[in-house]
Structure 1
Amino acid sequence: MGTLSIKESNKGSIKLSQVALLVSSIISLSSYSAMAEDVTANAVDVDEKITVTGSRFDRTADQQLTVINTIEREEIARLNPKSVADVLETLPGVSISRNGGAGQATSVSVRGSNSNHVLVLIDGVKVGSATLGTVSFNTLSPENIERIEVLKGPRASVWGSDAIGGVIQIFTRQLKDGEWFAGAEYGSNDYIRGSFGTGMSHGKGSTTLAVNHEQSDGYDVYNGAPVENDDDGYNRTSLSLKGSQQINQNWQALWNGQYDKGNTQYDDIYAFGSADESDFDNYLWNLAAQYSNEQFTSKLALSQSSDANENFRGDDITVPVSVFETKRDQINWSNQYLAANDLTFIGGIDWSNEAVKGDYAQDERDIFGAYILAQKQWSQLLAEVAVRYDDVENIDSEVSYNASLAYQLTEEWRLAASTGTAFKAPTFNDLYWPGSGNPDLISETAKSYDLTLHYQANDIHAYISVFKNTIDNLIAWVPTGEKDDYGFDIWKPANINQAEISGVELFTKFGLFGFDNQLAYTYLEPENKKTGEMLIGRSVEELNYSLSYQWQSFDFLANYHYQGKRYAGYDLYLEAYHKLDLSIGYHLDDAWSLRLKANNLFDEEIISAQNYFSPGREFFFSVSYQAF
C-alpha cells in the first residue's frame, strides 16, 4: 500500500479514545478477553500448550510478549480458501488489497503498514522480491499450508529488515508415516484443483511430500478497459517437501523445500489491448542441523530462495518481455540457552546475499545481522529485551531493539506493554533502477508502542491491543525539478515521508449455545505526518466475524467480512463492502469428506484496488480423503 495520503471527512467519525473505551466496555460486559497468541476458530482446552515461534524457537503462548495470531490446518480446510490472502483476511489487523481474484497481484498490510513492511518466511526461509520489496502471495497454494503465524508490531530486533508492521510465518504440511491425503475440487469460472500428500518414515525420521495443482479460466478483472474485456485466468502448481531425522539423542537433521510454478493473465491499465501475462517460477530449499540438550539448543541452517517472474505482452509492445528475478542465499545460526527456570537467552547470527537479474548499477548485496534476546520471570512479572545489529552493504547499518513487560493480574487477566524499533532497507529498484534510481537512499525506520490486555478462561479467549507506529524516512517517488529530453519531469525515489499509525485491535473467541464464535475488529488512524492527510489504501474500520457449528457428520462455517471505505487518490474513495462466505462439510466416515463452499454469497461488487473487481458469487464443490 502506498504512503501518499489525503484527509477523510470527519463527519460521523469516531475518535481513537472513544473506540478504546467502547471496545474495553465490550470486553468487560461480555467477559471476552484472551490470549492473543491463539486465534484458531475452534475452542481450545485451557490445559493445551500451544507453541509459537515468535522468538525463533518453539515456546508456549504465555512466554510470548508480542501479539501473535495463529490459524491451523483444520480451520484452513474449513475455510477452503482460494488464496493465502483469504486466510490472512480473517485475522485482526491484517488488511488485503487485490487486483482481482486468487491469481492476481495481492497486497497484505499489517496494522496499517505498507505491504513491503511485512517480513514473510516459509518454513523459516525469507521469501520475496528484492526488486519490488514485496511477496507474491498469489503464487502460494493454501492447500500445502499446515499453519500460519502473524506477529504484530516491529520485530526487527529478532528478524532484521522488513519487519516494521509484522512478520508472517507460513509452515508447510507435515505428516507422519502412513498418513496421506488426496482431494479434488471443481467450481465457478471452471476452477479445478487436485492435491495429494503423504508421510514416509525412515528410521527415526520422516518426510512429507505434498503436491497441489489448480487452474481457473478466471473472469475480466479490470473495470474501465473495454478493449480488454477478456477473462483473466491462472494456473499454479505447488510442491513441498519437509522432513527430519533424529541422528542420536542430541543431534537432528532437518530439511524442507518449496516449488511454485504457474501463469497469471492480468489487465494492465497502462497497456490496454495487450496480451498481459506473467509466468512465475519460485523455489526455496533449507538444510539444517540442530543440537539440543536440557539447557541448550543450537541450530545452523543453510537456505536459498528464488523469486522469478517473466512478464510478456503482445508483439505490438516495444518491450515484449521483462524478467524480474531475485536469488537469496541465507545462513542462520540460532541458539537458545535456559540459564534457569526463570531466565532464557536467545541469540544468533544471520547472513544473506541478495542478487537480482537486470541492468542495475549494483546487482547484489550482503546483509549481516547479529541479535540477542533475554527473558526473565519474576513471580507474576515477565520481562524481555532484544537488541540486534544489521549491516546492509552499500546502504547503512541499523541497531534495533524491543523491550516488553507483562504482568499476570489474575489467573485470567494479563497486561503486556512493549516498545521497539524496526527498519526497511531500500530495494534494488529504489536504489538502482536504470535512469531513475537513487543510490543515496537510507533505510526507512519505525518506532512502535503497544499495550495489550489479554483474557483467558475456559473456552473464552480475547485481547484488546492499543498501538502506535511512527515510520520515518519513507521512500516515495518525487519529481527532481529536472526535465528529460522530451520535456517531462524526472522522478526519483527519496526519503521524504513520515507516517503515524495509531489503532485499536480486538479479538474475541467464545462458545455460545454450541456455536463457536470469532470476532476480529481493527480501528485505524493512519496519517501522513508531512501533510496531515490520511494514508492511501487504508480503512478506518475493518471487521471479520465467523460462526461455526458441528453436528454429527456435518460442519458449518459462516464468515462475514466488512471493509470500510479506502481513499484511492484524486478525491476518490473505494466504497465500503460486505462479504459473506459459507462452507458446509459432510463427513461420510473418518476418511472421506465432501464440502460445498460459497464465496461472496450476496454477489456484492467488491473493489479493494482501484478499478479491479474481486470475484462475484462463486461456488465450489470438493471431495477429500485423509488417512490418519
Structure 2
Amino acid sequence: MSAALRLSPLTLAMAVAMATCPAVAQQAPDEVQVITADRFGDANDQLMVVDTIDRKTIETLAPKSVYELLARLPGITVTSNGGPAQSGSVMIRGANANHTLVLIDGVRTGSATLGTTPLEALAPEQIERIEVLKGPRAAIWGSDAIGGVIQIFTRKLDQGQWYAAAEGGSNGYWRTSAGAGVSHGDGHTSLTVNHEQSDGFNVRRLGQPDDDGYQRTSLALRGEQRLTEQWQLNWSGQVTDGNYEYDYDPTWGPGHDEADYLNYHYAVGAQFDNGVLTSKLQLSQMQDQNEHYNEAEPTLGVNEFRTQRHQLSWLNQVRLDALTLASGIDWYEESVEGDYAKDSRHVFGLYSLARYDHARWLAEGVVRMDNVSGVDSEVSYQASLGYRFTDTLHLSVSNGTGFKVPTFNDLYYPGSGNPDLVSERSENWEVTLHYARNGVKAHLSGFHNDVEDLIQWAPVGDGTLWVPQNIADATLKGAEFGLEYQVGAWMANAGYTYTDATDGSTGASLIGRSEHQADLGLGYQWQWADVRADYHYQGEREGSGRQIDAYQLVNMSVGYQPSAHWDLRLKLNNLLDDEIVSSNDYYGPGREFFVSVSYRGF
C-alpha cells in the first residue's frame, strides 16, 4: 500500500474529529475577501483551497523574505539559492516553478524570458496580504496558473496612520522602513518605503569562499478615490532597486557573480458597482530588468535581461439572487530586449463564468479562450460542484484545464530557441472536504494533475546543440491537509502534504519535490506580549544528480508591546542550526537572530 493510502485515513479521521467537536465559545475573526478566487472579491472558499496570510501574521512571523512566508503553507515547496535575496522558486502541489502565476495588486509580474517572478526582490514589510489559490482554477486567469495563483497586495494605510521601523541582526543585517496614509476628499493613498542590506554568508560551498551580500530599496504606492456612491478610482505601483551577490560554478571557470536589478509595476483602474452589476477596468505595466557581471573579471562583459508587459483587463459581474454571471477580457503585450528573432508578442483572453448557489448546492463553470500571437490558441475550462452537509462541513469536486505559454527563451533564444513549440497543457482534478466553525478552519484535499507537452531542453543532431522541445509530461498527485485555529489568545496552524510527482515517460521522481512536507505553528498573545514557534519539515528529494537530504527548521518570534504604539520583537531563525539545502550545492543560513523596534501612529 502506498504512503498516500496509509496517510489519508489518518488525516480524514482528524477532519471528522474536528467536524464533531463541540463549539468553541469564541467568535471567528472577520472573513477576509478572497479576490484571487474569482477576481471580484465576493467568492468564498467553498469550491477551492485558498490560503491567506494577513498583515498581523506577517508582523508576528517577522520574515526576511516572501519565500519564508510561503514555505509554511501546505502544498507549497520553496527552493532558494542561498539567503533571502538570492534567486528562488515556488512550486505548488508538485508543478514547475513557472507553473505558478504571481500577481502584485492584480498585475502579472513574471519575467517573459525566464517565466518566473523574482519574489526575492519583494520586501515583506510592504505587504498587506497574500492569497494563494490552489487547484483547477486556471480558466479564470489564463496562462501560467497550472499549479496555482499567488496574489500579493501591498500595504494599505488610512488617513493619519503611519509607522516607522528599524531592525538589525545576524550577518550584518539592517532594515529601515516607514509608511504613511493621507486622505484626499473621499479617498486615501498609502506610501511606504523600505531599505534592507546584509553582508550575507557563503551560499555555495563549492563556489567562491566569500560572503554573498545584498541590498534592496523599494518604494510602493497604493490608493483609491470614491467619485460617487457607485464609481471609484484606484491606483498602485512599486519600484525596487537592488543588488545581490552569488557564486559561479568553478568547474566552468570564472563567471558572473553579482547582479543589479530594477523592477517596477504600476496600475490604474476604475470600478462601477450598483449592487447588481460590478465592472472593473485596469491598465498596468511592469518591468523586470537584471544586469549580471563580475567586477574582478571585466572581460566577461555584462549580461542584461529586460522584459516589459503592458496589460489591460476589463471584468464584469452580475449578481441575480442565487445566480452570478461574470465575463472578462485580458489583453497584454510583452517584449524583451536582446538579440531575439522576435522581441514582442500579444496575448488576448476572454472568459465567462456562471455560479449557482442555492440551499445545500453550489456549482460553478468557467470557459476561457486565449490567443497567443506566434504560438497557438488555447481553450480551457473549469467545472466545480459543492455540497453542504451542514453549515460547517461541506465537500467540493473540481475539474479544470490549464496551459503555460512558452517563454521568449524557449521560442527565440539566440542560436537555440525553437519557434515550433506549443503551450504546455494540464488537466487537474481535486476533491476537498472543508470545515469551518468558530475560529477553526480545516481542509483535506486529494489532487491529480496531468501535465502534457512539457518543454524540456534536449540535444539534437550530434548532441552539441541543445534546444527546447515539447517532449515531456508529468503526473502530479497527492493529498493535502491544512488546519488554522484562532480562538481567544491562542493561535495555531498545521499542515501536511504528500506529493507524488513523476516523469510520465520514465516514472522517475521529478527534481526538487519532496514526498512528505509538514508544518506546525503555535502562538499565544498576552495583553502586552506574544510568542510564536514554527516548525517546518522538508522531506528528502531528488537533486541534479544526487539526493538532497531532509531538513527541519524551527523559528521563534517573541514580541513585547509596552504601549499601543510601540512593538519590540526578537526573531530567532533555525534554532536547531540544521544544515538546510534546498537546491544543489546551495546552503541556507545557520542559526540567526534579529531585533526590531517599530512605532505605529494608529
TM-score over 0.5 (shorter chain): yes
Indicate if the aligned counterparts of 1:156 and 1:388 stay in contact, CA closer than 8 A: no
Q: In 2, distance between residues paired with 1:415 and 1:623?
A: 45
Partner residue, 1:144: 126
Aligned letter for 2:387?
Y
Post-superposition CA distance 1:466-493 (Å, at most 9, x none): 000000000000011235xxxxx21100
Q: In structure 1, which of residues 103, 115, 127 is the aligned counterpart of residue 109 of structure 2? A: 127
Alignment of structure 1 residues 542-557 onto 2, 5 Å: 542-557=517-532
* CA distance, structure 1, for counterparts of residue 593 and residue 520 of structure 2: 20
In structure 1, the partner of 2:9 is 21
Determine helix, strand or coil for the equivalent of 2:312: strand
CA deviation digits over 1:534-560, x for unaligned, max 9? 111100000111010112211001010
1:612 maps to 2:586: yes
Residue 56 of structure 1, aligned match among 34, 39, 42: 39
Could you say which residue in structure 2 is the equivalent of 1:519? Answer: 494
Q: Against the structure 1 CA distance between its residues 172 and 514, is the aligned structure 2 distance closer, same or farther, given a 3 Å change threshold?
A: closer
- After superposition, residues 163-182 of structure 1 pair within 5 angstroms as 163-182=145-164
Q: Helix, strand or coil: the match of 1:189?
A: helix
Say if 1:153 and 1:60 are closer, same or farther in 2 by CA, change over 3 A: closer
**Mapped contact 2:28–2:487 kept (Cα < 8 A):** no
Where does 1:211-610 land on structure 2 (aligned, <5 Å)? 211-225=193-207, 228-269=208-249, 274=255, 276-314=257-295, 316=297, 318-338=299-319, 340-482=320-462, 489-510=464-485, 515-570=490-545, 572-610=546-584
Who is 2:182 aligned against?
A: 200
Distance 1:499 1:388 in 2: 23
Q: Which of 72, 90, 109 matches 2:54? A: 72
SS at match of 1:537: coil
Give CA-to-partner distance per residue, 1:194-245, whole Å, 9 cap, x none. Answer: 00000000000000000100000001100123xx101100000111100000
Contact 1:374–1:386 (8 Å) recurs in 2: yes
When residues 312 and 47 of structure 1 are mapped into structure 2, their CA distance, relative to the original with a 3 A threshold, is closer
- State the Cα distance separating 1:274 from its structure 2 match: 4.8
SS in 2 for 1:17: helix
Q: Contact 2:28/2:486 (CA < 8 Å) preserved in 1?
A: no
Instruction: Give the letter for the 1:618 counterpart.
Output: E
Which runs of 4 or more aligned residues in structure 1 lie more than 4 Å from their structure 2 counterparts after TM superposition? Answer: 30-33, 270-275, 511-514
What CA distance in whole angstroms lies between the structure 2 residues aligned with 1:155 and 1:280?
32
User: How far apart in 1 are the matches of 2:264 and 2:524?
Assistant: 38
The C-alpha deviation readout for 1:126-177, integer Å capped at 9, x for no partner, is 0021001011111111100000000002332111100000000000000110
Query: What SS does the corresponding residue of 1:241 show, helix, strand or coil?
Result: strand
Separation in 1, partners of 2:5, 2:26: 32
1:184 paired with 2:158, answer: no
Letter in 2 for 1:209: L
Pair 440,545 (structure 1): closer, same or farther in 2 beyond 3 Å: same
Question: Cα deviation per residue 1:339-358 (whole Å; 9 max; x = unaligned)?
Answer: x2101011111110000011
The CA distance in 2 between the partners of 1:482 and 1:44, in whole Å, is 70
Corresponding residue for 1:3? none
Distance 1:273 1:366 in 2: 38
- Decide whether the 8 Å contact of 2:249 with 2:255 is kept in 1: no
| SS of equivalent to 1:178 | coil
Q: What's the CA shift string for 1:299-344, capped at 9, x where partnerless?
A: 1111000000011124546532000111000010011111x21010
Partner of 1:4: none
CA distance in structure 1 between the aligned counterparts of 2:444 and 2:483, rounded to whole angstroms: 9
Distance 1:500 1:587, change over 3 A: same
Q: CA-to-partner distance for each residue in 1:364-396, whole Å, 9 max, x for gaps?
A: 001000001110123110000001100000000
How far off is 1:569 after superposition? 3.2
| Gapped regions of structure 2 (runs ≥ 5) | none
Deviates more, 1:349-358 or 1:14-23: 14-23
* Distance apart, 1:60 and its partner CA: 4.6
8 A contact 1:32–1:461 mirrored in 2: no
- The equivalent of 1:158 in structure 2 is 140
Identity in percent? 48
The Cα shift of 1:514 comes to 5.2
Of structures 1 and 2, the one with the larger relative CO (CA 8 A, separation 6+) is 1
1-structure distance, mates of 2:247, 2:415: 26
Structure 2: which amino acid aligns with 1:556?
A: V
Residue 456 of structure 1, CA deviation: 1.3
Distance 1:46 1:380, change over 3 A: farther
Give the Cα separation in 1 of the matches to 2:27 and 2:218: 34
Once the two structures are TM-superposed, the CA of residue 189 in structure 1 deviates from its matched residue by: 0.6
Per the alignment, in what secondary structure is the counterpart of residue 569 of structure 1? coil
CA distance in 2, matches of 1:383, 1:325: 43
The CA distance in 2 between the partners of 1:625 and 1:297, in whole Å, is 38
CA contact (8 A) 1:32 1:460 kept: no
- 1:307–1:156 CA distance, 2 compared to 1 (3 A): same
CA RMSD of aligned residues (A): 1.6
8 Å Cα contact 1:463/1:508 also seen in 2: yes
Cα displacement (A) at 1:182: 0.7
TM-score, normalization by structure 2: 0.97
User: Contact 1:287–1:301 (CA<8 Å) still a contact in 2?
Assistant: yes
